[in-house]
Amino acid sequence: MGSTAAVRLVLADASSLLRSGLRTVLGAEPDLVVVGEAGDGPAAVELVRRLTPDVLVADLALPRCDGLIRQLRRSPPAWSS
C-alpha cells in the first residue's frame, strides 16, 4: 500500500497552552504534522501565506485581527487560486 503525504497544519489561537495541547494531540497522529503556530491574526496570516498549510485550525476571534478569513481572501496563498 502506498504512503500518502502528511496533512500540514497551522494552529492559530491566543492561548499558548491551547496551542501546545493541540500540537500534542494532533502530533500523535502519523498523518498530521503541525508546521506552525500563531498567537494573533497577523502572525496567522503571515504563516499561512509563507507555509501554505493544508489546514488552518484557528480561533476566529484572534487578537489583532479584523477577520482572518477576510484577510486571507484579500491576498490569498498560492494554493487557494
CA atoms within 13 A on the CB side of 27: 12
pLDDT of residue 67: 65
What is d(CA 19, CA 37) in angstroms, rounded to the nearest whole number?
A: 7
pLDDT of residue 59: 87
Instruction: Read off φ and ψ for residue 38, nearest 5 degrees.
Output: -135, 145
pLDDT at position 8 over 90: yes
CB 48 within 8 A of CB 56: yes
Domains, the chain, in order of start with CATH, read 7-80 (3.40.50.2300)
pTM above 0.75, yes or no: yes
- Cell numbers found for residue 49: 501565506
Output 4 or 8, whichever has higher pLDDT. 8
pLDDT, tens digit (0-9, with 9 covering 90-100), for 50-80: 999 999 999 877 877 766 666 677 765 555 5
Compute the mean pLDDT over every residue in the chain, rounded to the nearest whole number: 85
Percent of the chain residues topping a pLDDT of 70 = 78
